[in-house]
Structure 1
Amino acid sequence: MDRITLTGVGVVGYHGVLDSEKQSGQPFFVDITMFTDFQRASESDDVENTVNYAEVAELIRDVITGDSLDLIETLAENIAQAVLARFPLEALELTVHKPKAPIEVTFSDVSVTVFRERKCL
């Protein structure tokens, strides 16, 4: 299976268990690998026959800036379902990073990753 990878889509969102996270917001970053077949796109050289990664980035932004959620697990699932619903993919792997999570010890990142296949929908 061919892959398109989009890394580091960054958006401020208002997600978290704490009220302060929902009020002040914080950055979220998304990495997504989309599994599809490039054959038709490569033969036609037409963006209509592939996944437009600019549109994927905009959809990710729209989900992150949408309704406030408690868990990044839910955010990851919502993004994955939105992307699969809109684009002709066989599968995707998506990671949501929350590097400014309110953790009392030094850390560089916290993230969750989901893998979803179209046949599982």
Structure 2
Amino acid sequence: MDKILLNDMMFYGYHGLYPEENKLGQRFTVDLQLLTDLKKAGHTDDMNDSIHYGHVYKVVGQVVEGEAKNLIETVAEDIAKRLFTTFEALHGVIIKVNKPGPPIPGYYESVAVEIERERKDYE
């Protein structure tokens, strides 16, 4: 399966277990691997035969910058659902949601979750 990669997309959201996270918010980054068939787009050079990266960014942004969630696991799952609903050509997706500088004891650059989903997971 072919892939479209979107790396280090940055958003500001209010996700987390602690009240200060929901009030102050923080930066999140998202990496995507969109699994689709790019053969036709490669031959036709027509955007209608692919998945528009700008539209993907908007969909992800609506989730990350939208309603606050306790868990980044839920953010990742919501991104997957929205992508499959929005993009018919999407066969599978790998989503990594990264939370830099989490407010937990210790020294962390970030914490992240990564999920893999296929269209059949939502049918």
Question: TM class, shorter-chain normalised?
Answer: over 0.9
How far residue 65 of structure 1 moved from its aligned partner, in angstroms, is 1.1
Deviation at 1:42, TM superposition (A): 1.2
Cross-structure match for 1:77: 77
Do the aligned partners of 2:102 and 2:108 also contact (CA within 8 Å) in 1?
no
Equivalent in the alignment of 2:36: 36
For residues 79 and 117 of structure 1, the distance between their equivalents in structure 2, rounded to whole angstroms, comes to: 13
Q: Which runs of 4+ in 1 moved over 2 A?
A: none
Report the identity percentage. 36
Tell me, yes or no, if the aligned pair for 2:15 and 2:22 is still in contact at 8 Å.
yes
CA deviation profile, 1:38-69 (whole Å, cap 9, x unmatched): 11111210111101111101111111111111
Provide Cα deviations, 1:15-42, integer angstroms capped at 9, x if missing partner.
1111000000000100000000011111
Aligned residues: 121
The residue correspondences of 1:30-109 to structure 2 (distance < 5 A) are 30-87=30-87, 88-109=89-110
Alignment partner, residue 121 of structure 2: 120
- Structure 2 residues not aligned, in runs of 5+: none
* Residue 100 (structure 1) shift: 2.1
Contact 1:15 1:22 in 2 (8 A): yes
SS class of match (1:69): coil
TM-score scaled by structure 2?
A: 0.95
